[in-house]
A = this chain, B = another copy of it.
Amino acid sequence: MDIRPAAAPRRKRRGRYHHGDLRQALADEALRAIAAGGVEAVTLRGVGEALGVSRTALYRHFSDKESLLATVATEGFRRLRAALVEAWQTAGRGRAGFEAMGVAYVRFATANPAHYRVMFGRFVAGASAFPELEAEGAAAFQVLVDSLVEQQHDGIVIDGDPARLGRFVWSAVHGVAMLAIDGRLGPASAIEALAAFTVRQLRFGIGRDADTAPARPHRRSAAAPRRRRAGKAS
């Protein structure tokens, strides 16, 4: 498994009170349980027992179970952000950095599937129920946007709102990550290959000839009739 450096406490079995940073210890234990058996393995009773504390002690530090999970998710975004920055810089920024970042994103998800699932799909953003969670999520996304701005300045990424380009790229790697941990993309080797293929293809696209050759036609007006190419509709 791929879990934190194993929090210090966790041994405090019998001593009425915890007398440490119980809040942090609870979040650590919750993450441990998630990594070991998924979110469903997290029970307040289990978490309390693992720390030698009553099952209601948690309510002194979190408003409820959902709040505990939000804290775990927040920590996930912190780590994801760190992984992205590391990949971007280590690979020397630019094109290589961008590709490395995409691969690192997918790797983070496949290495911590249960944690990744808590980060996404559970809390709806914008509801601002957990502002810190939203802030960390935005910070992780910003790493990607910053890299796109730099690539635009370097002339290796098309012009346009970098946040929009960022959402496009984020969606693509997030999609790979989610389908990967859903088991829909095959074994680890196939996932790794698709992640690499994806970040490369995001740059070049899948269009061909008539699409890319002329001075970047992009759209023709939706209403106007399109020229077809003989067409062999089945």
A residues engaging B (CB < 8 A)?
A: 89-96, 117, 120-121, 123-127, 137, 150-151, 153-159, 164-165, 167-176, 178-179, 181-186, 194, 197-198, 200-212, 216-223, 226, 228-229, 231-234
The answer on a CB contact under 8 Å between B204 and A94 is no
- Contact (A93, B184) CB under 8 Å given A172-B171, A207-B158: no
- Contact (A169, B222) CB under 8 Å given A117-B121, A232-B154: no
Apart from A89-B222, A124-B182, A124-B183, list 14 A-B contacts with CB within 8 A. A90-B222, A95-B218, A96-B226, A117-B121, A121-B178, A171-B173, A172-B175, A178-B178, A200-B219, A204-B207, A204-B211, A205-B206, A205-B207, A212-B212
The answer on a CB contact under 8 Å between B154 and A229 is yes
Bound Cα distance A120, B218 (Å): 32
How near does chain B come to A101, taking the closest CB pair, in angstroms?
Answer: 13
Bound Cα distance A219, B150 (Å): 11
The answer on a CB contact under 8 Å between A218 and B175 is no
Q: Which of B121, B155, B223 contacts A121 (CB 8 A)?
A: B121
The answer on a CB contact under 8 Å between B183 and A232 is no
The answer on a CB contact under 8 Å between B210 and A156 is yes
- Contact (A212, B204) CB under 8 Å given A175-B170, A234-B153: yes
Bound Cα distance A64, B184 (Å): 24
Number of copies of this chain that the complex holds: 2
Bound Cα distance A220, B96 (Å): 11
The answer on a CB contact under 8 Å between A221 and B178 is no
How near does chain B come to A209, taking the closest CB pair, in angstroms?
Answer: 6
Bound Cα distance A188, B157 (Å): 27
Q: Which of B156, B186, B201, B232 contacts A208 (CB 8 A)?
A: B156
Query: Ordered nearest first, which 9 A-B pairs have the shortest CB separation?
Result: A94-B218, A175-B175, A205-B205, A171-B175, A203-B207, A92-B222, A124-B183, A174-B175, A125-B183
Bound Cα distance A127, B165 (Å): 36
Across-interface contacts of A151 in B (CB, < 8 A): 218
Across-interface contacts of A96 in B (CB, < 8 A): 217, 221-222, 226
How near does chain B come to A16, taking the closest CB pair, in angstroms?
Answer: 35
